[in-house]
Amino acid sequence: MTMDLFDGATTLESQEQLAPGAMLLRGFAVAHERELLSALAEVIAQAPFRNMITPGGFRMSVGMSNCGALGWISDTAGYRYGPIDPLSGQPWPPLPEAFLQLATSAAERAGFSRFVPDACLINCYEPGSRLSLHQDRNERDFREPIVSVSLGLPVVFLFGGSSRSVPARRIGLMHGDVVVWGGPARLSYHGVLPLKEGFHSLVGAQRLNLTLRKAG
Ligand code: MD6
Ligand code: FE
């Protein structure tokens, strides 16, 4: 239990192994919420959220942007990482120091030392937005973990196995929760159920998710 002297709240931190290689760090990002959200606002001012098109031609319900040397892109040509934001024609905004430090320390806590991400995919969910079951496999080196930070409204995260046929567990992810995902869990199928209506005092009527990766 840690006391947050600034807003007088008591935040509960805990850790739970979801599967070998996948660790849920409850409340890990709460102490850094303000730095994370203000850095995020600066990124989004330069690279606004947009609804990308899947290779199959569907508009994704989740708004997405990126920061870091590489950003994840989906369009009718496929999924890939690239250095340029196709909306602005400019490089993606740099990875904020607060994102880098949180990712490295969360990875360390989960047993992955010296994780240095070069890409951060930023997801914005509004009520009804969902992410269907998928694997993250556009990164170059699957030995590197992924660090996922949840901010704002709670959501049900689906966590399955390395084939689509493994039934998915349902895990409630809340503001400040961090999931670190690597090793034998790196190619697990996962997704997000439709976001429910609600209001979060710092983030409003949405859920923001950062996934930090070493893509290149
Ligand atoms: C989300 N997350 O929570 C979507 N991918 O909004 C992901 O797709 C994800 O949380 C890889 C590792 C962790 C994740
Ligand atoms: Fe994913």
Residue 5 is assigned to a structural domain of this protein: no
Q: What CATH number has the domain bearing residue 131?
A: 2.60.120.590
Residue 40 is assigned to a structural domain of this protein: yes
Ligand 1 and 179: CB distance under 6 A: yes
Residue 4 is assigned to a structural domain of this protein: no
Rounded CA-CA distance 29/151 in Å is 9
- What predicted TM-score, i.e. pTM, was given to this entire model? 0.94
Ligand 1 and 209: CB distance under 6 A: yes
Residue 147 is assigned to a structural domain of this protein: yes
Residue 1 is assigned to a structural domain of this protein: no
Convert the pLDDT of each residue in 122-167 to its tens digit. 999 999 999 999 999 999 999 999 999 999 999 999 999 999 999 9
Rounded CA-CA distance 188/66 in Å is 22
Residue 6 is assigned to a structural domain of this protein: no
Residue 2 is assigned to a structural domain of this protein: no
Convert the pLDDT of each residue in 4-62 to its tens digit. 454 445 567 999 999 999 999 999 999 999 999 999 999 999 999 999 999 999 999 99
Ligand 1 and 136: CB distance under 6 A: yes
- What is the number of the ligand 1 atom nearest to the C-alpha of 155? 3
Residue 125 is assigned to a structural domain of this protein: yes
Nearest Cα to 43, choosing from 35, 32, 51?
35
Question: Which domain range does residue 34 map to?
Answer: 14-213
188 within 8 A of 181, measured Cβ to Cβ:
yes
Convert the pLDDT of each residue in 70-122 to its tens digit. 999 999 999 999 999 999 999 999 999 999 999 999 999 999 999 999 999 99
Q: What is the dihedral of CA 66, 67, 68, 72, to 10 degrees?
A: 0
- Structural domain count, the chain: 1
Q: Tell me how crowded residue 4 is: count the other CB atoms within 10 A of its CB.
A: 12
